[in-house]
Amino acid sequence: MKSIFKALLLLPTLIFSQNEKHLKNLKQLTFGGDNAEAYFSLNDKFVSFQSNNKKWGLQCDQIFKLDIDKAAKDSTYKPLLISNGKGRTTCSYIMPNKKDVLYASTHLSGDSCPPVPETKGKYLWAVYNSFDIFVANEKGKIIKQLTNTKGYDAEATISPKGDKIVFTSDRSGDLELWIMNIDGKNQKQITSGLGYDGGAFFSPDGKQLVFRASRPITEDEQKEYKELLSRGLVAPTNMEIYTCNIDGSNLKQITNLGKANWAPFFHPSGKKIIFSSNHHSKKGYDFQLFMIDVYGKNLEQITNESMFNAFPMFSYDGKKLIFSSNRKNGGTRDTNLFIADWVE
């Protein structure tokens, strides 16, 4: 009984937000397809994101740059295509000059979209070994290749200080976090625990990282993880949120909720973390945004509308939150970008 009571004390207290009280003046920015991973430019006027909108002639995800004011006023607005339309792309971020865009692409291995792997009914993510990280200008011309090692290099984001890039790579034999200078030099591995470390973002002061991680514990779990990774796959159904310093020190597990906790981002204060989770769901597929402090306490539910809300990012001035959601999609499977004023 004492052990159960002690375990209950360690659980964060859940605060339910009524009617999404932290979100005001919600506006839809895209209309159709799957639109995700929208991240602000330093001046908060633009976001880069990935989309597979068939109306734009896309076969798989490509990278776009969107003018927030124009998109909020015109539902027919088409953002600027940044990627070259070849291969599959993911994980874009606007460079400190507010013009060029960082993203990962498979185009060096072929113009076509890489085939979606057979998953035999399980929910799995593909980890394409043809992904490398590039920088393109506003005209879509690739001006620099930042990674060229064999294997998966993707999920890159940039420090608010404009000096560092964090990314995920399997070049060491496991999916770990790596960090490099903004020009691609001085690439260093900073995590080493068995499991998938990814989706990392810097704290507002640029000194810490927040990321999602799986940590297979049992022999069977470890065997399955390694077998899937050998086939370029990961199972994202059991992940928790972690933080560490940018050199990998002071590693801390923030959540211990079970199921899939992912897409974390620091609150502008640097003292809280917003993330997507289905830990509360009995069905599994019900992802809402939650917030928790950096000590793993005071868990608060932020969204409660629709069945999918993820990829939250605060604007650099702390006044806006952008995220992906399948709300207001007319019963389709579309996932669109939404932006709202953030209310503390």
SS (H, E, C) 62-120: EEEEEEHHHHHHCCCCCCEECCCCCCCEEEEEECCCCCCEEEEECHHHCCCCCCCCCCC
Domains, the chain: 11-342 (2.120.10.30)
Strand, coil or helix: what is 323? strand
Whole-number Å distance between alpha carbons of 312 and 337: 10
Whole-number Å distance between alpha carbons of 81 and 90: 13
CB 329 within 8 A of CB 335: yes
Q: Widest CA span of the chain, in angstroms?
A: 64
- pLDDT at site 105: 98
Phi-psi region of 151 (alpha: psi -120 to 50; beta: other; left: phi over 0): left
Copy the structure tokens of residue 251: 């590693």
- pLDDT at site 298: 98
- 169 phi and psi angles, rounded to 5 deg: -145, 150
- pLDDT at site 95: 98
Quickly count: other Cβ atoms within 10 Å of residue 7's Cβ.
10
pTM of the model: 0.93
- pLDDT at site 13: 52
- pLDDT at site 14: 52
Quickly count: other Cβ atoms within 10 Å of residue 60's Cβ.
17
Whole-number Å distance between alpha carbons of 283 and 160: 37
Copy the structure tokens of residue 123: 């929910």
Whole-number Å distance between alpha carbons of 157 and 91: 8
Phi-psi region of 153 (alpha: psi -120 to 50; beta: other; left: phi over 0): beta
Question: What string of pLDDT tens digits covers the 344 residues of the chain?
Answer: 444 334 434 445 555 556 899 999 999 999 999 999 999 999 999 999 999 999 999 999 999 999 999 999 999 999 999 999 999 999 999 999 999 999 999 999 999 999 988 888 788 999 999 999 999 999 999 999 999 999 999 999 999 999 999 999 999 999 999 999 999 999 999 999 999 999 999 999 999 999 999 999 999 999 999 999 999 999 999 999 999 999 999 999 999 999 999 999 999 999 999 999 999 998 768 999 999 999 999 999 999 999 999 999 999 999 999 999 999 999 899 999 999 999 99
Whole-number Å distance between alpha carbons of 266 and 88: 28
